[in-house]
Amino acid sequence: MTAGRPMPTEDEVLGYFDTLSNWGRWGDDDELGTLNHISDDVRLAAARAVRHGRSVSCAWEVSVPADMERSTTTCPCTAEMPGAENMPPAFHADRRWGFSSERLGISFHGNTLTHLDSPCHIYWDGTMYNGRSHLLVDAETGSAWAAVTAAANGIVTRGVLLDVAAARGVSWLEPGQGVSPDDLEEAERRHSVQVRPGDAVLLRTGYGRFRHENGPASGFTQAGWHASCLPWLHERGVALIGADTPQDVQPSGYDVLMPVHAVSLVAMGLWMLDNCDLEACATTDAELGQWDFQLAVAPVRFAGTSGSPVNPIATF
């Protein structure tokens, strides 16, 4: 940890489930959690962050079939496909029209694909955000509470990139190195940007650069948010966090396996973007001298799911 703030104890981190809780803050039936910080005025302010008209993706490309199951159908002449004789006359009479289509299967949670976590993704003592039981999730219908469809209208807000790797003067943080609130504030100072209520905060540890140059790392050791950042995120009114790793520094330093995931999703209702590729975003930030932007995240409306693969777009 850097000087200025002591490392929280195990008991203090466990206490975050109470002290940082947003249960009931926006009503007992609220499923949006911290997305409630994104008001109309916040979205309008995000639009004013567009000063150059340049957009970049913050997602990794999905390798097919490496990262998903794929079955492709190709039919160069629709008139010859099975069942064409039962289609309207235009289908079996037109000898020039063809098509291709796919069936894709994907498991998007984990350490590889860029995805959005909704609050129902994590339980603590069998309970989800706003005090709902894990029994509201079943294998047939998915989650009846705080699923990704709560964000069906999309997440459009001001994004802020906090490039901690650059602030520390390194290409990337080493696995197991945690990011502290002092790191976040040093990145703010370095780039003359201030995190405001309703913002999406994207954390660059530099792992994206490592992955581009060396390929994905193996194992369960990674750089990321230290649990000490949770009160900072709560106090700033952050609506969404993302990182170029699966968020939590590992090992976390606590008996709680992934305290940032657990406290964020269960207690705070803080939505998360895992496994972003922030290299193009960081390059654009540096080139334009602009470290805030409009961020747009549009999850697929998968009913009852605990998240969605996404392609977050930063527009400068």
Confidence of residue 1 (pLDDT cuts 50, 70, 90): very low
**The pLDDT of residue 67:** 85
Q: How far apart are CA 237 and CA 124, in angstroms?
A: 22
- If you average pLDDT over residues 137-158, what whole number do you get? 97
Q: What is the pLDDT of residue 29?
A: 98
Report pLDDT digits (tens) over 24-71.
999 999 999 999 999 999 999 999 999 999 999 999 999 888 888 889
Q: What's the average model confidence in pLDDT over 141-158?
A: 97
pLDDT band at 2 (very low <50, low <70, confident <90, very high): very low
Least confident of 53-62, 83-92, 141-150, 244-253: 83-92
- pLDDT band at 3; cut points 50, 70, 90: low
User: Which strand ranges, in their side-by-side order, compose the sheet holding 55-57?
Assistant: 55-57, 313-315, 292-297, 155-163, 200-204, 240-243, 271-274, 115-117, 307-309
Total-model pTM: 0.93
Percent of the chain with pLDDT over 70: 99
Least confident of 83-92, 155-164, 213-222: 83-92
Name 99's bridge partners.
75
At residue 156, the 3 state secondary structure works out as strand
Least confident of 67-81, 127-141, 239-253: 67-81
Per-residue pLDDT at 221 exceeds 50: yes
Averaged pLDDT, 260-285: 98
In this structure, the strands spanning 55-57 and 313-315 are: antiparallel
Question: What is the pLDDT at residue 122?
Answer: 97
Q: Are the C-beta atoms of residues 205 and 179 closer than 8 Å to each other?
A: yes
The mean pLDDT of 181-208, rounded to a whole number, is 98
Q: Which amino acid is at 100?
A: S
What is the tens place of the pLDDT at every residue in 80-98? 888 888 888 877 788 888 8
**Among 106, 147, 136, 115, residue whose Cα is nearest residue 304:** 147
